[in-house]
Amino acid sequence: MYSCYCLNILIETLPDDCRGVSADSLKLSPEEREDSFFQQDLKQVRTLQKVYKTHPDLVLTKDVGKWVINCCANCVCETYAVHNEKGPDSVLIFANLRDTNSIERAKRQDPDYSKVFKIIISHSAVRANSRVLYSYPQCNPEAAMSNLKDYLLEYMKRETIAVEQRIKQFADEEYEKFNDLKTAALREQGFLNLFIHEMSQQQKSELQRKAIIDAVKKADEMLSVDVCSPEYGMKINSKRHSPKRQKSSPAAPASYDAEAIFEMEGSEDNRSVSGTDVEESDREDTTEGAIMMPVRQSVPKHSIAKSLPMDIPAFLTQNKCHVEDEFDDLPRQENVNIAESIKALAQSVHGDAVFGELPRPRLSNQL
């Protein structure tokens, strides 16, 4: 591979297919000898493979005798000449062209190498040895610039497609990485949620277990206390005599025959006293915000007259607030003659007043 100085003209040949020649061996005419191309060192190519021109508008050609000489206008290098009659079988090239290694080195290291136009572009508008170009026909500048523009647009189109493909490929790779990251994050979040749920359940179970253990301990402590022990009695007494206010409850009848009784003289005083106590108790409850309820007044047991001519034992109701004094409140038993009592009872049934006048029936004016 050979090329001009700017890499615009590339000549492809077989390896070791070039040999040096002189003007005498070529049998040149006087006109050909006077041309500048034949005055430089030349090589003859036995078999030409291909000639590639990157920008043909920058290549100038002229006919000298039997030869067509090609010159690169960009680097002002008369590159090669082709015989009009023999064609590719007789090609002469400039001996100092770039070889393959020089071409690759220039692409990598030369700062003036253009990646767009694929040639080395000089930043100066004036070329050295530009007088050589005067002998070549003038090129069409409008056509050359239009072709360069088309070349640029074509290149930009190809690069745009390539960039879009690279962007798409990069986006696909990045989205794939993102999806992998998202999947891993969701899996890790599931692990954390499972851990939090299990931790909460364990804490809840531990609290329930502790509550059950505490309840069992309290039950064991209560069962371990002997009911007959002084300690249990002290607990009961402390509860009984606690300052907690008891609600007033209606008094129960003094005896089982309370329905068949009538009041004796002097019983009103006892009732008034009892009623006063109840009213005071109700007044105190009202001041504490309680609801006033009617209280049934109890009748003293010694103020009750009985219609039977015998002693009837008075059965007292059990008072929950005075358990320890219930045996002291029982009435004392008197010596009763049962036969006499039965006899007196029989007489009272027949209408005889044994113990004085029978109680008069209570009259009612209500119909």
Identify the three-state secondary structure at position 96: coil
How many residues belong to the chain? Answer: 367
Is pLDDT larger for residue 129 or for residue 284? Answer: 129
Percent of the chain at pLDDT exceeding 90: 35
Handedness of CA 98, 104, 107, 108 (dihedral sign): negative
DSSP single-letter state for residue 235: H
Predicted confidence band at 54 (pLDDT cuts at 50, 70, 90)?
very high
pLDDT of residue 250: 45
Task: Quickly count: other Cβ atoms within 10 Å of residue 92's Cβ.
Answer: 21
Q: Tell me, letter by letter, the H, E, C secondary structure of 181-216.
A: HHHHHHHHHHHHHHHHHHHHHHHHHHHHHHHHHHHH
Distances in Å between the Cα of 132 and the Cα atoms of 37, 70, 75, 135 are 10, 12, 11, 6
State the Cα–Cα distance between residues 280 and 57, nearest whole angstrom. 131
Say if residue 296's pLDDT is above 60: no
Predicted confidence band at 359 (pLDDT cuts at 50, 70, 90)?
low
State the Cα–Cα distance between residues 205 and 129, nearest whole angstrom. 99
State the Cα–Cα distance between residues 117 and 136, nearest whole angstrom. 24
pLDDT of residue 114: 92
Q: Is the pTM above the cut of 0.95?
A: no
Is the Cβ–Cβ distance between 81 and 91 less than 8 Å? yes
State the Cα–Cα distance between residues 149 and 243, nearest whole angstrom. 112
Domains annotated on the chain, with CATH = 2-139 (2.170.150), 226-252+259-298 (no CATH), 306-359 (no CATH)
State the Cα–Cα distance between residues 187 and 203, nearest whole angstrom. 24
